[in-house]
Amino acid sequence: MKVPFGDLSRQYKKYKKEFDNIISSVFANGNFILGENVTRFENNFSNYLGAKHAIGVGSATEALFLALKAIGIKNGDEVITVANTAVPTVSAIDFAGAKPVFIDIEESSYNINPKRIENRITLKTKAIIPVHLYGNPCNMDSIIQIAQKYDLKVIEDSAQAHGAQYKGKKVGTFGDLSAFSFYPSKNLGANGDAGMVVTNNEDLAVKVRLLRNYGFEDRYKSIIRGFNSRLDEIQAALLDFKLSKLDEWNLRRKQISDMYNKGLEKLPIILPSTVPENKHVFHLFVIRVKQREKFMKFLSDEGISTVIHYPIPIHMQPAYKYLNYKKGFLPVTEKVAEEIVSLPIYPDLEDAEVEYVIKSIKKFFN
């Protein structure tokens, strides 16, 4: 059996008629940029989250960048985040002119350790970007409390956490702003690049709307220095349809994670852990094993693809050498990066495939 790490052609097979109709109706309509599909999806997405405003943009990298610009980040400011994230979290901070400041993570959740934030705050610190990694919410109460104490802004990186909840409330609604990715493999994925900025703050929403479209108040009238980062009509129309499936898809991810948790419980593996106040949406199912290379090779020989999210923490990436972090500075991040492996998890994965992955992993440890 072959178990791919992801396979979006399965989604197309299932919804071919719907996708084809959606795409042809956008073509027939003839409007491709900032039209009714973008507005509809923005409204439906903000309603889904329980947020006041959603602004469609080109990607989550750009959503983070525009969010940072909207709160007035400028050269020399510092923004607190983690090093065990996708590179774009940090690209956005860097391109906004700020210095990323990395905090170590909790070994249980792999998310930012709120206890380690306060002693890294300086006079230059302006914002915190918690990342709800793998679909598991950060400890938002502690983060918001620290942000309020030091008058910092919070921008949630919700790129991997569509529909995840913390204390019964969807992530992306806690911070001043939040960024979502609709990269194709995400829990809610477009068929190309796409992203969203979410906020409950009217002034920030107005600002992001201007920033994403050259600062245009009216056509050809720029009232602030803006940029081009727009969600397009085809992606918005497809995403609006897929939004109606998101809860069902997240439920399927949960079922698969339950199968893995049960099937792998007695093995020398560290399984994902979460806390009762979290609803984890399992964008990724990440386990930890000691002999990772051998483990991945064994599964690959069995026809099972696995991936590491992420093998090199950002402070150890060649591009970010200039930040001058030494190995050992983020011990938990560095330790975890050596052991993590992501198993296949997506709504179209079949039970038989999940069972095969479990059986193969058991075989490895026997």
Ligand X SMILES: Cc1ncc(COP(=O)(O)O)c(C=O)c1O
CB 190 within 8 A of CB 235: yes
d(CA 355, CA 256) in angstroms, rounded, equals 10
Question: What tokens appear for 82 in the block?
Answer: 């983690």
CB of 291 to ligand X, least distance (A): 27
Q: Across the strands, what pairs with 123?
A: none
Residue carrying the six token digits 């600062």: 215
Q: Please say which residue, 68 or 259, places its beta carbon nearer to ligand X.
A: 68
Q: Please say which residue, 86 or 146, places its beta carbon nearer to ligand X.
A: 86
Alpha-carbon torsion, ordered 14, 305, 136, 292, to 10 deg:
170
CB of 240 to ligand X, least distance (A): 17
CB of 295 to ligand X, least distance (A): 23
Give me the sign of the Cα torsion angle 331, 335, 337, 343.
Answer: negative
Q: Please say which residue, 100 or 361, places its beta carbon nearer to ligand X.
A: 100
d(CA 224, CA 226) in angstroms, rounded, equals 6
CB of 84 to ligand X, least distance (A): 10
Q: Which among 105, 102, 121, 125 has a CA at the least distance from the CA of 113? A: 105
CB 29 within 8 A of CB 232: no
Q: Please say which residue, 89 or 250, places its beta carbon nearer to ligand X.
A: 89
Q: Please say which residue, 186 or 353, places its beta carbon nearer to ligand X.
A: 186
d(CA 278, CA 186) in angstroms, rounded, equals 19
Binding residues for ligand X, rule: CB under 6 A, are: 59-61, 85-86, 88-89, 131, 157, 159-160, 181, 183, 193, 195
Reading phi first (left if > 0) and then psi (alpha if -120 to 50, else beta), residue 204 is in alpha
Q: Please say which residue, 88 or 313, places its beta carbon nearer to ligand X.
A: 88
Q: Please say which residue, 95 or 365, places its beta carbon nearer to ligand X.
A: 95
d(CA 190, CA 285) in angstroms, rounded, equals 21
The per-type count for the chain, helices as H runs and strands as E runs, is 11, 14
CB of 297 to ligand X, least distance (A): 25
